Amino acid sequence: MSINLSSPWDVNTIRAEFPILHQMHHDQVPLIYLDNAASSQKPRLVIDALDDYYRRYNANVHRGVHKLSEAATEAYEGARVKIKKFINAGSKREVIFTRGTTESINLVAQTWGRANLKPGDVVISSAMEHHSNIVPWQILAQEKGFTIKYLPVTGAGVLDLDVLRGWLAEGNVRLVTVMHVSNVLGTVNPVAEMAKLAHEAGALILVDGAQSIPHMPIDVQSLDVDFFAFSGHKMVGPTGIGILYGKRHLLEAMPPWMGGGDMISRVRLDGSTWNDLPYKFEAGTPIIAGAIGLGFAVDYLSSLGMEAVHAYEQQLTAYALDRLAEVPGLTVYGPDASQKGAVAAFSYGTIHPHDIAQMLDADGIAVRAGHHCAMPLHDQLGCGATARASFYIYNTTAEIDALIEALYKVKQAFTA
């Protein structure tokens, strides 16, 4: 079974750019990679960019006057400019290189949060968050004594904005910190509207964009978010590199987090002063190859066009949800395709998700099983774990068909 996708998406040309997709899994079956919410695969352009840096101009940045260091600095800072354009930040000073979403959120907690939050203050998060947007605030709350409230997730798998309005009206809310797209339910949260509500109540908003920026156009200025955190490795970039976007006036006012080289203006034995943005938050030798690679990842996604990426994935996800709905005993969690990113987390009768994932792997299909770093959400779903198929630009309807066939085989094996 297959459908005609209405967008002119040349999936075969895209697949040709991803070397890993052309290997045989277990040396026997073609690889069907459906674990993209965990990490995406990398196109030749990104792999070559890393190779090129290490082969031709590997050197430290910002410090040297020799040719290699100048070339590395130019590529590193060039990547920052590419990312600034990709998210439509107002200035490249608002683009901080970090190790990923987790580090970006911890940075905000440990600088803005540590400097501003006190007993009586409220931070609003949600019950669908990834642990990386729960635990940093819990660690800080233990020390600072502020309160964290978690927006409930409705039965339809969305956040209740009336609860948000009510809590904002009670006062003392300093920050709303929520994910843009759920890595389990796929829910696309209305972060522009939430930003407006937060600002009207005098609060800031941080958005965890780990699962949105790989899949849809992001304009941080039109969303009007104060902080936006994301990871390179989920958007065809390398691991170990990510971004914290922050509004300039907020970043200017925030104290540094890690101390060391590059983040200082002047060091004396009786005290030091800080470098300008963005370097104030980039202590030590940065992740040079990763940043350059992320710049090329952004080039690659831009060449496809993020509107087109989104349109293709919406059709693919709708197709996957229709096909998964045909499988008796299988329950997909979260909203319907119109409100959902490219994620389908499911349970399958009483078959344990790890057994599902293991059997699918034997057929060459890579999915994820577990709590997906969202234990509180799984508590609410009433299961400790789910299996999760997640899609990206290079996946096809034929691969989804193969997933469905393999799921029938799993059922057979467990009823035999």
Active site residues: 373
Closer by beta carbon to ligand PLP, 37 or else 109:
37
Identify whether the C-beta of residue 31 lies closer than 8 Å to the C-beta of residue 388: no
Tell me the one-letter amino acid at 58: N
Stretch that binds ligand PLP, among 82-90, 97-105, 251-259, 346-354 (CB under 6 A): 97-105
Strand 147-151 and strand 122-126: the pairing is parallel
Q: Tell whether residue 390 is a contact of ligand PLP (CB under 6 A).
A: no
* Among 17, 35, 121, 208, contact with ligand PLP (rule: CB under 6 A): 208
Q: How far is the CB of 213 from ligand PLP (least distance, A)?
A: 11
Q: In terms of Cα–Cα distance, which of 46, 38, 55 is closest to 19?
A: 46
Q: Tell whether residue 132 is a contact of ligand PLP (CB under 6 A).
A: yes
| Angle at CA of residue 85, ends 84 and 88, nearest 5° | 80
Alpha-carbon distances, residue 14 vs 45, 159, 310, 405 (angstroms): 12, 35, 15, 25
Closer by beta carbon to ligand PLP, 213 or else 407:
213
Q: Tell whether residue 106 is a contact of ligand PLP (CB under 6 A).
A: no
Instruction: Identify residues 309-328 at the interface with ligand PLP (CB under 6 A).
Output: none
Tell me how many residues contact ligand PLP (CB under 6 A).
13
Q: Tell whether residue 347 is a contact of ligand PLP (CB under 6 A).
A: no
Residue 19 to residue 22: CA distance in whole angstroms: 6
Q: Tell whether residue 210 is a contact of ligand PLP (CB under 6 A).
A: yes
For 109, phi then psi, to 5°, come to -60, -45
Identify whether the C-beta of residue 404 lies closer than 8 Å to the C-beta of residue 32: no
Q: Tell whether residue 294 is a contact of ligand PLP (CB under 6 A).
A: no
- Count of residues making up the chain: 416
Q: Tell whether residue 126 is a contact of ligand PLP (CB under 6 A).
A: no
Strand 227-231 and strand 204-208: the pairing is parallel
Identify whether the C-beta of residue 312 lies closer than 8 Å to the C-beta of residue 9: yes
Q: How far is the CB of 229 from ligand PLP (least distance, A)?
A: 8
Residue 158 to residue 180: CA distance in whole angstroms: 11
Q: In terms of Cα–Cα distance, which of 175, 124, 169, 171 is closest to 150?
A: 124
Q: How far is the CB of 356 from ligand PLP (least distance, A)?
A: 19
* Among 106, 183, 275, 386, contact with ligand PLP (rule: CB under 6 A): 183
Q: How far is the CB of 329 from ligand PLP (least distance, A)?
A: 27
What is the enclosing helix (H) or strand (E) of 115? helix 114-116
Q: Tell whether residue 100 is a contact of ligand PLP (CB under 6 A).
A: yes
Closer by beta carbon to ligand PLP, 117 or else 179:
179
Q: How far is the CB of 181 from ligand PLP (least distance, A)?
A: 7
Q: Tell whether residue 35 is a contact of ligand PLP (CB under 6 A).
A: no
Residues that bind ligand PLP (CB under 6 A): 37, 100-102, 130, 132, 179, 183, 208, 210-211, 231, 373
